[in-house]
Amino acid sequence: MVLTAEGMDAATIERLLDLVAKEGMVEREKLAVDATFEDLGIQSADMVVILMAVEEEFGVYIPVDGDLADARTLGDFLQVLAARMKEGAE
Find the CATH number of the domain harbouring 61: 1.10.1200.10
Q: Does a structural domain hold residue 4?
A: no
Closest to 20 measured CA to CA, from 85, 76, 74, 58: 74
Nearest to 33 by CA among 70, 74, 72, 77: 74
Whether residue 86 is predicted with pLDDT greater than 90 in this model: the reply is: no
| pLDDT in the model for residue 84 | 82
User: Over the stretch 35-75, which tens digit does the pLDDT of each residue have?
Assistant: 999 999 999 899 999 999 999 999 888 888 778 888 889 99
Count of structural domains within the chain: 1
**d(Cα 90, Cα 43) in Å, to the nearest integer?**
31
Determine the pLDDT at residue 83. Answer: 84
Residue whose C-alpha is closest to residue 20's, from 85, 75, 88, 89: 75
What stretch of H or E contains 81? helix 74-89
Is 58 among the domain residues? yes
Eight-class DSSP state of 18? H
| Predicted confidence (pLDDT) at residue 1 exceeds the cutoff of 50 | no
- Residue 7, pLDDT score: 65
| pLDDT range class, residue 9, cuts 50, 70, 90 | confident
